[in-house]
Each structure stands twice: as structure tokens, then as C-alpha cells.
Amino acid sequence: MSPWRFFVAVPLQSPYMLIGLALVVALGAAELIVAPGSGQEAVVTLLLLQMFSASSGFAIPARRGHYDAMLTGGVSRTAVVGWHLAMSVAPGAVGWLVLGLCEVGVGRSAVLSQGSIAAMVVVSAAGWAMTVPLPRLSGGVVWLVLLLAGLGWPTVWREDLLAVAAGGADVSTRAVVYLLCPLVVAGRSLTQEDLIALLPAMTLAMTGCLVAWRWLVHMNVPLEAAQ
């Protein structure tokens, strides 16, 4: 069985996650019609859910035999991993594009802005890579805990976070904030300083993706019983 057909027949996201994404897109589209300037809020909400949607996990289902039809059927392991990544991020990415098209229809472009593209790439890549050896949703949970912990840090940090969200702060401060919370760039046009500050987050996310991909391509898959 080809990987894409397998993942279409056996979705990586639960029905509740897919319903949640559909509701977020539908509500966001309705909000854009009523308030055309609400694109940033709509895309941030979608990105929060994408953290969990992309955190699909691979190693544990593979060791429980869920992917035996592909892994033992002569299909390239690289193709299996590639389609797993693509199908992990696809629901959120499709929802984002739908929101973007709705916003273009009302004459705005926050959803498909440079900042939103960067945030979608970082959230999707990092969420998938972090969860590869873990149970489903783990990457999203870890990231959410880090975000909440960051908001509970000293007042100076919260002030820096608010300053970056408002488009201020120096490059080094932005780099730290973007690394922990790339959502703050969603809906914004990026300046040269923003692009420089985003490099650590983009580099870490893409490197994590490549490392996870390589590990999956070469890993052994001993079967184990479900707990």
C-alpha cells in the first residue's frame, strides 16, 4: 500500500482534532467577514491547534505494528517518513490556506503574511520533530507548557514579550522570544531585523526535522505490545 493512501485511510489526527480544526477555520472565516481586520487573531488560534495537529508521533505506533503494511511492503522508508510529515502538517496547513483565501476576499493579508508563513513553518516542523519518538500530541503539550511557563516568568520577561509582540525590542531579545513563542510574528510583515531574529527558531525547527527524518529512516522497529 502506498504511504499517502495509507495515511488517508488511517488519519494521523483524531476525528476530534479534525473537527476542531474545521471549527476554528469556519469561525475564523465568519469573523473575517464581520471584522476584516481580525486575520491575526484567526491565524494565531489556528497555529495553536496546529501545534497539536502536527504532533502526530511515529516511533510508538510503528513499534505497535500500526505501520507494518508499509514498512514490510517494500515501500521506501524515506517515502513513508516523508508522507507521514506531509500528512501530519496538512490539515492545519489546508485550514490556514482556506483562511488566507477568505481574508484575501475581504482585501486583507495578515493570514498569508510573511510572519504567518514563518510561524506556520516553525510550529509545524518543530511540533512534528519533537513528537517523533513520543506519544501523539506530546510535542504540542511540551510547547504549551513552555509558553505558559514563559508567561509566568519575571515581569521583565513579560515586558520583553509584550514589546516584541508590539514590534519593538532589540534583535537578541526578539530571537529569544521567537524561539519560545513564534506565534508573535503571525500576521505581521517582517523587517530585516525580524528575519535575522527568526533565524535561530527556523534553523532549530528545520534541523530538528532533518534529524528526526534521518533517525526514522535508519531506526530499527522492534514490535512491542500496547500498554
Q: Could you tell me how many residues make up the chain?
A: 227
Is the Cβ–Cβ distance between 217 and 77 less than 8 Å?
A: yes
More confident residue, 213 or 145: 213
Lowest mean pLDDT among 26-35, 40-49, 84-93, 172-181: 172-181
pLDDT tens by residue, 64-96:
888 888 888 778 889 999 999 999 999 999 999
Residue of 97, 125, 127 whose CA lies nearest to 111: 97
- Band of pLDDT at residue 158, cut at 50, 70 and 90: low
- Band of pLDDT at residue 157, cut at 50, 70 and 90: low
- Which pLDDT belongs to residue 132? 94
If one counts every other C-beta atom within 10 angstroms of the C-beta of residue 214, the result is 12
Average pLDDT over residues 189-204: 91
200-208: long-range contacts, CB 8 A cutoff, minimum separation 24: 200/175, 201/122, 201/175, 202/118, 202/121, 202/122, 204/126, 204/179, 205/121, 205/122, 205/125, 205/126, 205/129, 206/125, 208/125, 208/126, 208/129, 208/130
Residue of 44, 19, 18 whose CA lies nearest to 31: 44
Residue of 3, 8, 2, 5 whose CA lies nearest to 83: 3
Q: Over pLDDT 90: what percentage of the chain?
A: 48
Does residue 142 sit in helix, strand or coil?
helix
| Joined grid coordinates for residue 19 | 473537527
Average pLDDT over residues 99-120: 89
| Joined grid coordinates for residue 47 | 497555529
DSSP 50-108: HHHHS----HHHHHTTTTHHHHTTT--HHHHHHHHHHHHHHHHHHHHHHHHHHHHHTT-
> Above 60 in pLDDT, residue 226?
no
- Which pLDDT belongs to residue 154? 61
> Above 60 in pLDDT, residue 227?
no
- Which pLDDT belongs to residue 3? 86
> Above 70 in pLDDT, residue 20?
yes
- Band of pLDDT at residue 49, cut at 50, 70 and 90: very high
> Above 90 in pLDDT, residue 19?
yes
If one counts every other C-beta atom within 10 angstroms of the C-beta of residue 173, the result is 16
Work out the mean pLDDT of the chain and round it to a whole number. Answer: 87
Highest averaged pLDDT of the listed ranges 102-106, 125-129, 163-167: 125-129
